[in-house]
Structure 1
């Protein structure tokens, strides 16, 4: 990440962290005045940098504690404080405009007339301990591993607009989209197109054709008809998958962050981690786009 992106994060999140810290000190009963007692060994900038290194490279808390010269519990507390701030930050798609929920994404796509692309990505997690109820709930039927899946929405350029609504790996993609309220959100829009893969077949009828999925396979009675139908079917599916390619690129950029390649921490921290990575990736993508637009024509080419 560039220095400009990190500086913007410090400027935007620093006052929020300070306000929450002061509110926490004032809410609980105290025997000493506010500001007394031990001081934090890590200032906010160091806490933010420790969180960024942890998300980007998957560095453990023990290693971060050695780098910053503090105890491991200090790093763990810092990560626990910064992770929710980044998760609530939302995906930045324009200066001063952030999308924090799926409803914001649908409203933005409907207002701008853009085409959205939706898909689900699985992240490998730790298997629950033996003899615990619901141990097989995280086993994915597709990858046959313990995973949790997140709903990803990008535009037709591959920019991440939303990443969240995390569910267990055994939940079907279409069930995840329905639980996220996608059908109800599309009921208030007109002429909005969202491209999806075959795992979402059935949403098109529920959304008046706003969710576009690849065509179903048809069968003919005669051999010449069957050959023509098969060729037409494969051509249509190839064209649809080519239009959906940007969402695969967006998911690949998310998985470049080491903490999402395989999640080694607690499973209940994964939703905030995914949203935090999506917010940081959107900041990075927007900064790169602005940099390209500001370059002279010769250097940009």
Structure 2
């Protein structure tokens, strides 16, 4: 297969979830040829990073923090889960892929967007049993925010505790001071603060929804070892499209 056909097969597979068998029929080649082509191009797409401007891409979390600090923008983080095949019976790590939230076998990635919902970063995946806050700490987010430029990062309640560790840079929903029998004035104030935070943070949900529109991330039936390359490849392609759309709108 020529390079253009290999690239087209990879894009169709990621975007629409077309199986290798069907792609082999379309391109009149053997199934192993399609599998090899996708396996070679997927890591190359993942290595591109997320496009924020023509010729400017972010590949690591450190670059994302520096970019947000230099541009004065607010970042938004959230974890997203992708369903995967259940590990074979007898494997020692079989249970760690079970999500505590959905009770399904899945892997988890931390997604970072700007205040407009544009993708900036998707982390390598971890088993779904890993808590959001633990995943963020493993990625070094606490150290990067504490030692780097001042950056405001919005997060949901799953990241409560990072604010104290980062000098208030991570902003999470307010804690409830009354577990029960709260005064009416407190309930109104807490609900108002919660909604205000949620309305600012909602853009990351939009960014994740755009990711999940790619069939490769709706549910993965292949090898779990490929999930990091898949989500980062999709993020790279989607961020390039988002940047091109912003530039086109600016020129109109």
TM-score range, shorter chain: over 0.9
Match in the other structure for 1:240: 197
Deviating 4+ runs (over 6 angstroms): none
For the pair 1:283 / 2:245, whether they are aligned, the reply is no
Deviation by residue 1:22-45 (Cα, 9 ceiling, x = unmatched): xxxxxxxxxxxxxxxxxxxx1111
Give the structure 2 partner of residue 142 of structure 1: 101
Q: Is this contact kept in 2: 1:220–1:229, CA < 8 A? A: no
Deviation of residue 220 (structure 1)?
8.3
Instruction: Describe how 1:75-114 pairs up with structure 2 within 5 A.
Output: 75-114=34-73
2:155 matched to which residue of 1?
196
Per-residue CA deviation, residues 42-62 of structure 1 (Å, 9 max, x unaligned), is: 111110000000000000000
Q: 1:179 aligns with which of 135, 138, 141?
A: 138
Measure the CA separation in 1 of the matches of 2:197 and 2:63: 26
Q: For residue 19 of structure 1, what is the aligned residue in structure 2?
A: none
Identify unmatched segments of 5+ residues in structure 1. 1-41, 296-301
Question: Contact conserved, 1:91 with 1:160, CA < 8 A, in 2?
Answer: yes
User: Deviations along 1:218-259, whole A, 9 cap, x unmatched?
Assistant: 1189x6x62211111111011100000110000000000000
Q: Does 1:210 align with 2:210?
A: no
User: CA, structure 1 residues 263+220, in 2 after alignment: closer, same or farther (shift >3 Å)?
Assistant: closer
Q: Is the CA contact (8 Å cut-off) linking 1:47 and 1:78 kept in structure 2?
A: yes
Structure 2 match to 1:70? 29
Find the aligned partners of 1:218 and 1:281 in 2 and give their Cα distance.
Answer: 41
CA distance in structure 1 between the aligned counterparts of 2:158 and 2:206, rounded to whole angstroms: 18
Q: Which ranges of structure 2 fall in alignment gaps of 5 or more residues?
A: none
Shift in Å, 1:198? 0.1
| Secondary structure of 1:184's aligned partner | helix
- Equivalent pair of 1:220/1:226 in contact (CA under 8 Å): no
Q: 2:91 — aligned with what?
A: 132
Larger radius of gyration: 1
1:268 counterpart residue number? 225
- Per-residue CA deviations over 1:165-223 (Å, capped at 9, x if unaligned) read 311000000000000000011122243100000000000000000000000011189x6
Contact 2:66 2:149 (C-alpha < 8 Å) held by counterparts: no
CA RMSD of aligned residues (A): 1.2
- Structure having greater relative contact order (Cα 8 Å, sep ≥ 6): 2
Structure 1 residue 63: Cα displacement: 0.4
Identify the match of residue 229 of structure 1 among 174, 179, 186. 186
Q: What SS class does the counterpart of residue 164 from structure 2 fall into? A: helix
Count of matched residue positions in the alignment of Structure 1 and Structure 2: 252
